[in-house]
Structure 1
Amino acid sequence: MERRIREICETCVRYGYRRMHVLLEREGWGTNIKRTYRICGDLGCSCGTRHPSAG
């Protein structure tokens, strides 16, 4: 599953961990959202990080 999350991070940079979780569920991985968030953080993906708005 880590490999698939890394692929999603590389192709869809703007996806957050929630949208990644939905994609993984649709593909049949059947994982917990907290686990998806943890793996994203461990891999160093840009998902889950908030950037201040330029306004």
Structure 2
Amino acid sequence: MEAKEEEVKAWYQEQLTRAEYREEEPLLFRRKAQEVRLDVTPRAGGLHVFLFLRTAGEPPPL
């Protein structure tokens, strides 16, 4: 059984909330100096799930 896009988003929202992240915008979560952005994209019969983590004081990407 394949999970639907909304089910996957809801699962991550629940898990991040349990880990004490606060959803500040849709699919953008913060906890202290950390920011997590969730991206769920339908692709070729499945879903690609990306979590982007940004931490304060981190150098910009190259």
TM-score normalised to the size of structure 2? 0.32
Which is richer in strand? 2
Which is richer in helix? 1
TM-score normalised to the size of structure 1? 0.34
Q: Pick 1 or 2: higher relative contact order, CA cutoff 8 A, min separation 6.
A: 1
Which is greater in Rg? 2
